[in-house]
Structure 1
């Protein structure tokens, strides 16, 4: 067999899925593979991908209850017949098969749930001649990821792998999250010298700067002895508002997340996504607060149930948990150790092995 050729199917929905695809591609290339990245939104009919992205971004930001209802109807785990993404996935068939014909991969790796539906349908129909191994980027494996046509699921946790296996009847492996190696390199005790000022606490809002009461949360933390560092993504309006909070640091989009994680004592997170995974690798405790509806809330619950984060339900719980996790002690140490232990295997190795 010659050099492995892998087509990775991500999506330009925020930055997390593309970050995972990019890191998987780097690891696969280091193992001698040839890789190509494809934004699955470009496989949809013209205009559909941007419209889907704008609708998702708008509902999460401005109508979270609506997004929660859509998630519950289409994606949330559970039994019984409900509508799925099959009609939308069907529209990508011809364009994906064209990409396969042009690149001639030995393996397809979806890192976005719609891509997993597309590959699963094509494999089940017998028209996709190469295996599809899905890398699930969510801690909570929702219905959108699951299709029995796919050949393998690589999941973040054993619980996720068990859910994928039970729902699809297909093999499922566990790797832990995929993050850049720089986050593991900055892992350490993260000591804080009180003479240097209040302990820095990261507040994450993702690439789009999406969150609820983010500035109010920064004020609350600043008033109780923390230095909030707000990660506002590409939302300049949020960054300007956050910059007015006394004692806070407001940052726009940054490529130095490893450096920020290396300096932070705590991450206040609302998505259970890639930033949370980076914190686990860097040894920074994760505190879930006001998670995004749908997959964000389910992911935060899954992380907390696995002991990878602490979930705060109200401001008093937020402050109490922050105090416990900021100071040295068994609660902080235990959560950090469980977070590091979730990285159990190299996803690129598992995927390469699946390709034969």
Structure 2
């Protein structure tokens, strides 16, 4: 009988699901039966769906509230008590775990890591539990001493997790679709944006939720006369309509051809420090953070900038100055060398296969 792998994720944005899906794609052909479970779907009465809507609503209309929650529960020096939600999801996951049970469990979302760690610590999960950390700034919710191993994006985050949990932690290469590593534009982005041959196209990412101050960012880029902003609005139709009505650059909804679009851009202006940044890294597209969303978005942007992977522009003037600097091939090459080190690491699926036995 083949090995079984259970991947726990959550559809908070698109990044965690993207990582889970790519892991499944890489591992399943090796004779492993892979199951992917969204832990929020295990919350009764569709309350998990309500949590998603609440999170998106906070980011759009009350970012100050999310910042308060993040400071109080995710990074506070005084840890709150364990969440009843974790215990509830753990009980329901136990009932849904198939027979025979999995040979390993991998979590790609922090709540999933809490659930798996709790089950492992209490003897309710016999298989090794690994956590694939998808944030550069590893807040406390990622860490649970019940998990066996942590797979982190860089050495700094691995050290922080190991100190907090006492568990082994090491860096692994970013988990992105292979198309991003060999992307070819073919002129599609320039044609979509109606750009002149000499115009520098800057992608402005609002994530899957379509949140943050991207309208102001796009307006500033367009007003400079030096860059043509193309706003990636995700699934936010209102944002898409607003950008198009205001005539600020160009706007795109949810896209499945991001590798090609990134290959045709001059730079990416991001506000969440999430999976879109790792995809840009894979494409060789320089990343600049501006107007980050609160909490993990801001902290992740600062962590990436400290590591030399991206730039953090804290004002509109600094954003333009940073983008202007990317015209120097030496600057781009230096950034690319730091990014290449991310991918010069063991692949996550190799560690997971070893855990499967």
TM-score normalised by structure 1 residue count: 0.93
Is 1:52 aligned to residue 51 of structure 2? yes
In 1, Cα distance between equivalents of 2:259 and 2:196:
24
In 1, Cα distance between equivalents of 2:64 and 2:24:
36
Deviations along 1:219-257, one digit per CA (max 9) or x if unpaired, are 211222111111001111111111245461200011011
Is 1:18 aligned to residue 17 of structure 2? yes
Name the residue aligned to 1:203: 204
Is 1:108 aligned to residue 93 of structure 2? no
Is 1:178 aligned to residue 175 of structure 2? yes
Name the residue aligned to 2:123: 126
- For the 8 Å contact 1:147–1:168, the answer to whether it is kept is yes
Name the residue aligned to 2:62: 63
Name the residue aligned to 2:146: 149
- For the 8 Å contact 1:218–1:245, the answer to whether it is kept is no
Name the residue aligned to 2:91: 94
Name the residue aligned to 2:251: 250
- For the 8 Å contact 1:11–1:39, the answer to whether it is kept is yes
Unaligned runs of 5+ in 1: none
**Shift in alpha-carbon separation, 1:324–1:70, aligned structure 2, 3 A:** same
What SS does structure 2 have at the residue aligned with 1:196?
coil
In 2, Cα distance between equivalents of 1:84 and 1:349:
35
Name the residue aligned to 1:318: 319
In 2, Cα distance between equivalents of 1:181 and 1:282:
10
In 1, Cα distance between equivalents of 2:322 and 2:209:
26
Deviations along 1:273-300, one digit per CA (max 9) or x if unpaired, are 0101100010000000011100101100
- For the 8 Å contact 1:116–1:146, the answer to whether it is kept is yes
- For the 8 Å contact 1:200–1:226, the answer to whether it is kept is yes
Deviations along 1:168-195, one digit per CA (max 9) or x if unpaired, are 000112113210000011289x9x9996
Q: What does 1:1-356 align with in structure 2 at a 5 Å threshold?
A: 2-76=1-75, 79=77, 81-102=78-99, 104-186=101-183, 196-212=197-213, 214-224=214-224, 225-246=226-247, 248-325=249-326, 327-343=327-343, 344-356=345-357
What SS does structure 2 have at the residue aligned with 1:250?
strand
* Stretch moving more, 179-188 or 157-166: 179-188
- For the 8 Å contact 2:240–2:251, the answer to whether it is kept is yes
In 2, Cα distance between equivalents of 1:148 and 1:168:
5
Shift of 1:61: 1.2
What SS does structure 2 have at the residue aligned with 1:101?
coil
Shift of 1:14: 1.1
Shift of 1:43: 1.5
In 1, Cα distance between equivalents of 2:46 and 2:157:
33
- For the 8 Å contact 2:208–2:254, the answer to whether it is kept is yes
**Shift in alpha-carbon separation, 1:84–1:341, aligned structure 2, 3 A:** farther
In 2, Cα distance between equivalents of 1:187 and 1:292:
30
In 2, Cα distance between equivalents of 1:52 and 1:237:
21
In 1, Cα distance between equivalents of 2:223 and 2:100:
56
Say what the alpha-carbon RMSD is for the aligned residues. 2.0
- For the 8 Å contact 1:174–1:345, the answer to whether it is kept is yes
Number of residue pairs aligned between Structure 1 and Structure 2: 349
